[in-house]
Amino acid sequence: MTHRTVGHPAGLPDDPHANVTAPTPACPVEITLAALHGRWTTLVVRELLRGDRSYSELRAALPTLSDKVLSDRLAQLGEAGVVERDRRPGWPPRVRYALTPHGHRLGPVLQALWDWGSGGPEPRGRG
């Protein structure tokens, strides 16, 4: 998103992205939101924060998530460096999905999202 102004302790004072005037994929905020973007994404991440999972374990944990979207999400999270795919030889095919170290660091991010969302006057139906 291209911020700054957020009030960082000390760092990133002159990051050019902090003053962008249009959405750009290079902005750190955009990068994170892109990693988490789309329906089901955060639930998949939550599931993997609990431990590594197979494809069918993920389907079992999220029963109404379609194959297409699940593989879309796993690919998206792989591209973002959040999830690692571990294929093991033999039959039947066994594949394990696990968070990378970088992926694990989404924990505090999701916590911040959780905290804000549970913290206040959320909607304002009318006034």
Q: Indicate the residue among 70 and 109 with the shorter CB distance to DNA.
A: 70
The residue type at 7: G
Angle (deg, nearest 10), helices 41-49 and 106-117: 120
Asked whether position 14 contacts DNA by CB under 7 A, the answer is no
Q: Which of 16, 75, 81, 95 binds a second copy (CB under 8 A)?
A: 81
Q: Indicate the residue among 12 and 95 with the shorter CB distance to DNA.
A: 95
User: Closest approach of Cβ 118 to a second copy, in Å?
Assistant: 4
Asked whether position 86 contacts a second copy by CB under 8 A, the answer is no
Asked whether position 90 contacts DNA by CB under 7 A, the answer is no
Alpha-carbon distances of 98 from 5, 43, 64, 94, rounded to whole Å:
34, 14, 21, 13
Do the Cβ atoms of 44 and 97 come closer than 8 Å? no
Distance between CA atoms of residues 40 and 61, nearest Å: 12
* Binding residues vs DNA (CB under 7 A): 23, 38-40, 54-57, 64-69, 71-72, 74-75, 85, 87, 92-95, 97
